[in-house]
Amino acid sequence: MPGFPAGKLAGVRCPHLTGDLRCALFGTPERPRVCVDLKPQLEMCGASAEEAMATLAAWEALTDPGTVST
């Protein structure tokens, strides 16, 4: 992934996210496959940008290797 050779860490803002929360790599060959394959759903996006960001933050916290218990 450009900017994150070892993968994006939970809680770290993607360096390709623009000020208006859009992907600067959208439509380019450099855009990571995981992003290309992502199909946003209502449960992910909610009814607003605020809900979407809250869900993303919660999911990142739940999958952060530093906090996931085994």
8 contact partners, CB below 8 Å, separation of at least 6: 1, 14
68 contact partners, CB below 8 Å, separation of at least 6: 62
- Which single residue is written with the structure tokens 């909610």? 46
Mean pLDDT of the chain: 85
- Which single residue is written with the structure tokens 């770290």? 12
Tens-digit pLDDT string for the chain (70 aa): 777 788 777 778 888 989 988 999 999 999 988 889 989 899 988 999 899 889 988 988 888 777 655 5
User: What pLDDT is stored for residue 70 in this prediction?
Assistant: 54
User: What pLDDT is stored for residue 47 in this prediction?
Assistant: 93
Helices H, strands E: what count in the chain? 3, 0
